[in-house]
Structure 1
Amino acid sequence: MAAKFGTSGLRGLADDLSDVVVRRYVSVFIDAFPHSGVMVVGRDLRASSPRIMDAVVAAASSEGMQVLDCGVLPTPALAFECAALGAPGVMVTGSHIPADRNGLKFYTRDGEFTKADEDVLLRRVSEGRTSSGKREGRVTACDALERYAARYRDFFSEGALSGRRIGVWQHSSAAREVLPEILRALGAEVISLAPSDNFVAVDTEAIAGGVRDRLVDWAAAHRLAAIVSTDGDADRPLLADEAGAVVPGDILGPITARLLGARHLVTTVSANTMVEAMNHFESISRCRIGSPYVIEVMEEKIASGIAGVLGYEPNGGVLLGFEAQAGGRVLAPLMTRDAVLPIVAVLVAASQSTVSELVSSLPQRRTATDRLEDVPPEVSAAIVADVLSGQPDLLPAELGKIRAIDTLDGARLTMENGVILTIRPSGNAPELRCYVEAQNADIAVGVLADMMARLAKIVADCRK
């Protein structure tokens, strides 16, 4: 199966991202988009990433580019460096998807790759166009990670997390070194948890039961105020409270927005409607799932003169579209999904209480999500079509009738009893995803378990 663009970035099996394929995409990228002769590159900790990054560097160097090699770092750190330099970049990462997969995430000198940019690149690749490759560039080291850490050390007040004992689940996150460094700089006592030499695929929208049990055990064993982590490339946060209970990403986003003084929010159609019930923000816009769509709406608002725009997704990633200010300190915009910002912001917001108390003070709408892996896209699409057509036995009878349907991204169903279901194919991997929103977490988890069992049976029947 050939690599292809998903919700965000070029993705595929690591073997599909051969050196030839990588060099073709990178060479065309350099030829098709403006630059000043400099390109920033970085990678995550997957086993296949060093080889793929070598191919990226070789392609860029052969086009005469000065390649700034950032090594292992979070995707938002690479994006921050690209923005500071006005330079394009390529991040080698499969983000949260399984270890046998990988990808390339492109940044133009104007920011994150848009869907229109993807169309340009794909057309040029399909036409067989490449750059000349006649000149040999040079490769130099880049200290982007330090500048990214300073971004948060300099904005949040010194001692903001003093007295807090924070666990950091390091696993194979690209932020496993820099995140503890930032937290310590803000006064927290950091407990390192379970670093791994093998890549761990952490999907912050579908935390497995075994992981949730570990979080609970860690919280009790180490007497922690919170546990934090990220997905593989650190653009999606994971935060659990003092009892080890995971705080969903679509709660982290509004807390972050409120702390930073955001006035206008952009989020996806699948995000918790709690944010509307907060009655705190001037406007809330919804779009399709994926950071390119969030960015598109954010840019439209900013271009029209709207100030204080912030975006977030149910995976917890936050996109800052304005210059936040606090105590004379400034946090520059970063229009790409970031995990460190919501982690630090929520911990600071809870510094005078507990994370659970902060969350319980918000309107009581809660979400739960999960996924079925290795589901072919055509099977997922057929299931979504059956849901929309009213196929019997797909939905639990206790939810009542469907009150409203939204097809902006998959099937989003508002049920008679107030539960909201979203079923959609993943844009990044062969997965079928289900999102449930309900009056409280217990109901959401219960409905999700029922839905996942139903969907699993349907998928199994399709395989017979």
Structure 2
Amino acid sequence: MTTANCTEIIAQSGIQFGTSGARGLNDGFTAQVCQAFMVAMIAQLKPRYGFSGVVVGMDNRPSSPKIAQYCVSALHALGVTVQFAGVLPTPALALCAQRSKRAAVMVTGSHIPFDRNGLKFYHPYGEIDKADEAAIVACQAVPSPINIQPLPDPDHKISAPYLSRMLDVFPADLCVGKTIGVYQHTSAGRDLYVAVLEALGAKVICLGRSSEFVPIDTEAVSEQDKSLALQWTREHHLDLLFSTDGDGDRPMIADHSGHWLRGDILGLLCAKALDIEALSVPLNCNTSLELCGEFKQVRRTRIGSPYVIEQLIHLADIYPTVAGFEANGGFLLGTDIMINGKVIERLPTRDALLPLLAILYLVKQRGTTLAQLTRQYAMRYTASDRLQGVTRASSDSLLATLQTQPQRLADVLKCDCVPSVASTLDGVRFLLDDDCVVHLRQSGNAPELRCYTEASSQQQAGELVRTLLGALAQQLSTPAPGS
């Protein structure tokens, strides 16, 4: 019989909270560790939020059913009412928790590598914050041994409110006359998206469905996925190509030319379509948000949805319509809004489907194309990629060196002037002499060094990423992106 408390069990597992949820290696999510998380969630969060039960969902990763089984068994052992949703998008699970006044646990590693997974936690008012995370990992309760029970049959009706939230608001002819490709891979919402688009009149072409898990990263789109988008749009004469990451909370949208749009530009267009007044966005989002002059306030945060949500709450006390988004494209609605004379209720967690439909709505309203809208609002251009297999210790050492010796960055990028440090709020953000931006930080979800750039052209932004990560890969003895 174990005498270790939740804090000790979680710490020994190596699983940590990152930018969104607890993440770690698959092997770290043992029955005891999952139980410790469930015990801590109930002990620390139920008194604060008063939820009546817990709904559990998962993505399509091979490790997810076993982790979900451990979580459900642990919750049953605590006497908690549990509903199992099966595979569904994270925002659909969050909406279910919000409407039913329950908590939710999503088993998902989102976009991170195949050998990892994670847990996302929700209370009835949205995604948990950093204070909640700290409370969970500080829980001193000692779990008792439990019997692992088989997973119950999933209740597929749990996704219905998520679909009706869109279908009840947007015009029934929104997509009439459009051919839309859905890159399905192993996205948790791959069948739901087809159903929604067909219900709104689109001709849908299903593409790239896979039985082997595909870890799509919407901030570092692979060369293969770039080629597939070009191929599919030409082959099927697509007006638009849509996909998401593994758990369906980050969108990927390509226009009719087959070029994937940056997530922060998708967020900007979605905010315009919804008449949003104030935005909460991370540091690495495109400064076109400020330059376009169409929002009353743009509040910048550290990278990670909990930080964005924290500022959403403050902004909602000031402005009637508030939203947030991240450079990965995930859109968070901080207030109820009106579309077509009908209300879309707030959902303060990342969503991939709302940006798609809102942008289609804006295209239809303006009588234009997605490519034309992008050219209108993209005044600056961003790019991003990452080096995988970089430990936090290596990242910390590298960033400390570059911060104190920025001449090294100038040498790599062949700058005439030494870059200045613009921010250390999250990693180190450098301003170059031509107003370009280079931002380096350690991922909060995986052993990866992330690089974000901003420039006056897409080519320049991309070249900055490739040059810098290529040089850093040699220093860190890490394979460069695409190698």
TM over 0.5: yes
Q: Which residue of 2 aligns with 1:279?
A: 293
Cα pair distance change 1:286/1:131, threshold 3 Å:
farther
Q: Which residue of 1 aligns with 2:435?
A: 418
Match of 2:249 among 206, 221, 235: 235
Q: Which amino acid aligns with 2:86?
A: G
Q: Which amino acid aligns with 2:105?
A: V
In the TM superposition, what whole-angstrom CA distance separates every residue of 1:178-222 from its partner, at most 9, and x where no partner exists? 111111111111100010001100000000112101111111111
Residue 383 of structure 1 and its aligned partner are, at CA, apart by 1.4
Secondary structure at 2:377's aligned position in 1?
A: coil
Q: Which residue of 1 aligns with 2:10?
A: none
Match of 2:278 among 247, 250, 264: 264
Residue 403 of structure 1 and its aligned partner are, at CA, apart by 4.3
Q: Which amino acid aligns with 1:14?
A: N
Contact 2:51 2:123 in 1 (8 A): no
Cα pair distance change 1:230/1:440, threshold 3 Å:
same
> Residues 425-436 of structure 1 correspond to what in structure 2 (within 5 A)?
425-436=442-453
Residue 140 of structure 1 and its aligned partner are, at CA, apart by 7.4
Q: Which residue of 2 aligns with 1:5?
A: 17
Q: Which residue of 2 aligns with 1:145?
A: 159
Q: Which residue of 2 aligns with 1:289?
A: 303
Q: Does 1:112 align with 2:115?
A: no
Match of 2:192 among 178, 181, 184: 178
Match of 2:169 among 145, 148, 155: 155
Match of 1:196 among 185, 205, 210: 210
Worse-matched range after superposition: 347-356 or 89-98: 347-356
Worse-matched range after superposition: 35-44 or 160-169: 35-44
Contact 1:394 1:455 in 2 (8 A): no
Cα pair distance change 1:461/1:207, threshold 3 Å:
closer
In the TM superposition, what whole-angstrom CA distance separates every residue of 1:200-245 from its partner, at most 9, and x where no partner exists? 0000000011210111111111110111100000111101111111
Secondary structure at 1:275's aligned position in 2?
A: helix
Residue 392 of structure 1 and its aligned partner are, at CA, apart by 3.8
Q: Which residue of 2 aligns with 1:367?
A: 382
| Number of matched pairs | 457
Worse-matched range after superposition: 28-37 or 97-106: 28-37
Cα pair distance change 1:458/1:31, threshold 3 Å:
same
C-alpha root-mean-square deviation of aligned residues, in Å? 1.9
Secondary structure at 1:155's aligned position in 2?
A: coil
Match of 1:307 among 292, 307, 320: 320
Worse-matched range after superposition: 442-451 or 371-380: 442-451
Worse-matched range after superposition: 331-340 or 24-33: 24-33
Contact 1:28 1:129 in 2 (8 A): no
Q: Does 1:334 align with 2:353?
A: no
Match of 1:73 among 59, 74, 88: 88
Cα separation, 2, equivalents of 1:363 and 1:194: 29
Cα separation, 2, equivalents of 1:129 and 1:389: 45
Cα pair distance change 1:391/1:418, threshold 3 Å:
closer
Q: Does 1:208 align with 2:225?
A: no
Q: Which residue of 1 aligns with 2:33?
A: 21
Residue 278 of structure 1 and its aligned partner are, at CA, apart by 0.8
Cα separation, 2, equivalents of 1:376 and 1:452: 15
Residue 14 of structure 1 and its aligned partner are, at CA, apart by 0.7
Cα separation, 1, equivalents of 2:69 and 2:292: 48
Secondary structure at 1:432's aligned position in 2?
A: strand
Cα separation, 2, equivalents of 1:333 and 1:309: 9
Secondary structure at 1:375's aligned position in 2?
A: coil
Residue 31 of structure 1 and its aligned partner are, at CA, apart by 2.2
Contact 1:66 1:139 in 2 (8 A): no
Tell me the percent identity.
Answer: 38
In the TM superposition, what whole-angstrom CA distance separates every residue of 1:323-345 from its partner, at most 9, and x where no partner exists? 11122211000000111111221
Contact 1:298 1:310 in 2 (8 A): yes
Cα separation, 2, equivalents of 1:461 and 1:452: 10
Contact 1:64 1:133 in 2 (8 A): no
> Residues 440-459 of structure 1 correspond to what in structure 2 (within 5 A)?
440-459=457-476
Cα separation, 1, equivalents of 2:145 and 2:63: 27
Cα separation, 1, equivalents of 2:115 and 2:146: 30
Contact 1:400 1:416 in 2 (8 A): yes
Cα separation, 1, equivalents of 2:124 and 2:360: 32
Secondary structure at 1:350's aligned position in 2?
A: helix
Cα separation, 1, equivalents of 2:52 and 2:277: 38
Cα separation, 2, equivalents of 1:29 and 1:329: 36
Match of 1:348 among 339, 358, 361: 361
Residue 132 of structure 1 and its aligned partner are, at CA, apart by 10
Q: Which residue of 2 aligns with 1:437?
A: 454
Unaligned runs of 5+ in 1: none
Residue 36 of structure 1 and its aligned partner are, at CA, apart by 4.4
Cα pair distance change 1:399/1:435, threshold 3 Å:
farther
TM-score by length of 1: 0.95
Unaligned runs of 5+ in 2: 1-12
Cα separation, 1, equivalents of 2:55 and 2:422: 43
Contact 2:253 2:261 in 1 (8 A): yes
Contact 1:294 1:311 in 2 (8 A): yes
Q: Which residue of 2 aligns with 1:93?
A: 108
Cα pair distance change 1:448/1:109, threshold 3 Å:
same
Cα pair distance change 1:328/1:100, threshold 3 Å:
same
Q: Which amino acid aligns with 1:194?
A: G
In the TM superposition, what whole-angstrom CA distance separates every residue of 1:35-54 from its partner, at most 9, and x where no partner exists? 44411110000000010001
Cα separation, 1, equivalents of 2:425 and 2:249: 24
